[in-house]
């Protein structure tokens, strides 16, 4: 085995940082959940049995895309097949799997989280719920891979949630957004049947976001500056 400082040392530290943030945000509990970050043909991924809210870089394992351990002292997470499947099929940079409470609750009752707020379009729109399968199995991995088609997030029936993104920071943000959206749905459904954005409304949001570069900062124009 090669020392963590020479095998994806920065990536392992980043995975540990992400886990601690997710734990602080209440999306992880104990050893439940896992995070991975790809660098070329290798993947830094959380070790099995590690307490994620307290994770350190030396508790992050490095594997190749076939799942062979090439760095670190611990076995990788039991959801290794799921992570590697997402990395191979979608070519993403990072995958986050949580047992976030609101996402997990909705995964027990919904077949799909509908697009009740335009911010869900960041994840691709409605969020599918992958059918239940035992954790760590190829069946679960395939189920989730299918649910992620055209989406950046999926719920896992009676289990949790998974997000994917080009960067680890974005995958974490997706996980936080998904948990927020699940909370909004839960509160709305307690008051009455939630209104769902239809395709035309969703398209209008996309067009407006593109036209206004929504989500990015814009400098004040010279005209506005002169009026101060």
Catalytic residues: 79
Please count the CA atoms within 13 angstroms of the CA of 78 that sit on its side-chain side: 10
Q: Does residue 102 contact residue 183 with C-beta atoms inside 8 Å?
A: yes
Q: How far apart are CA 179 and CA 163, in angstroms?
A: 11
> How much helix, strand and coil, in percent to the nearest 5, is found in the chain?
45, 20, 35
126 neighbors 110 (Cβ within 8 angstroms): no
- Check the CA dihedral 200-192-177-218 and report its sign: positive
Pairing of the two strands 60-64 and 127-130: unpaired
């Amino acid at each position: 085995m090669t020392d963590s400082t020479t095998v994806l040392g920065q990536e392992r530290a980043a995975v540990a940082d992400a886990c601690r943030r997710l734990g602080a945000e209440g999306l992880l509990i104990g050893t439940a959940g896992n995070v991975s970050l790809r660098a070329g043909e290798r993947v830094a991924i959380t070790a099995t049995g590690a307490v994620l809210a307290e994770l350190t870089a030396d508790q992050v394992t490095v594997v190749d895309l076939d799942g062979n351990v090439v760095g670190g002292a611990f076995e990788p997470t039991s959801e290794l097949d799921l992570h590697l499947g997402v990395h191979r099929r979608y070519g993403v940079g990072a995958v986050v799997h949580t047992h976030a409470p609101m996402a997990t609750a909705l995964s027990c009752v919904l077949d799909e989280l509908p697009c009740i707020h335009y911010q869900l379009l960041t994840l691709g729109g409605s969020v599918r719920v992958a059918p239940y399968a035992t954790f760590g199995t190829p069946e679960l991995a395939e189920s989730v891979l299918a649910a992620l088609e055209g989406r950046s997030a999926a719920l896992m029936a009676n289990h949790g949630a998974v997000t994917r993104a080009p960067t680890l920071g974005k995958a974490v943000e997706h996980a936080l957004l998904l948990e927020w959206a699940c909370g909004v749905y839960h509160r709305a459904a307690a008051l009455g049947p939630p209104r769902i954005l239809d395709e035309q409304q969703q398209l209008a949001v996309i067009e407006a976001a593109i036209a206004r570069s929504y989500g990015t900062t814009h400098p004040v124009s010279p005209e506005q500056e002169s009026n101060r």
